[in-house]
Amino acid sequence: MTGATAASGNRASDRKLTFILGGARSGKSSYAEKLTTANPSPWTYIATAQAYDDEMRERIALHRSRRGEGWVTVDAPLDLVGAIGALPNHEPALIDCLTLWLTNHMLA
């Protein structure tokens, strides 16, 4: 698993971006959640997964149960740009997962 961080100094929001890479089910989401919760709440979890089958419903339920108080979940299987644009400035957000978001567009 790899994390890379960059500051977006030319934006009004001046958000920090951390991109986490790793294999399937390697702990990327839980690692990202820990990084996010190191900041003051509220935290926004932008979810791109869609519950197409029982396995995915179970995975989504596991992710939801792992997150505790302070999380706001935004479902954005296709409109990730809109979800990001609606975020309040300087509030931590986690986008999970860009691969699923791209797959959703390929299947749409």
Structural domains of the chain sorted by starting position, each given as residue range(s) with its CATH number in brackets? 27-107 (3.40.50.300)
Written as one letter, the residue type at 99 is T
The predicted-structure confidence for 50-85, as pLDDT tens digits, reads as follows 998 999 999 999 888 988 888 999 999 999 999 999
Rounded to an integer, the average pLDDT of 103-107 is 95
Q: What angle do CA 31, 34, 37 make, to 5 degrees?
A: 150
Q: What is residue 102's predicted lDDT score, i.e. its pLDDT?
A: 96
Length of the chain: 108
pTM here? 0.81
Annotated active-site residue 90? The verdict is no
- Determine which one of 37, 50, 63, 100 is catalytic: 63
Residue 32 and residue 45 in contact, taking contact as beta carbons nearer than 8 Å: no
The CA distance from 55 to 21, in Å, is: 22
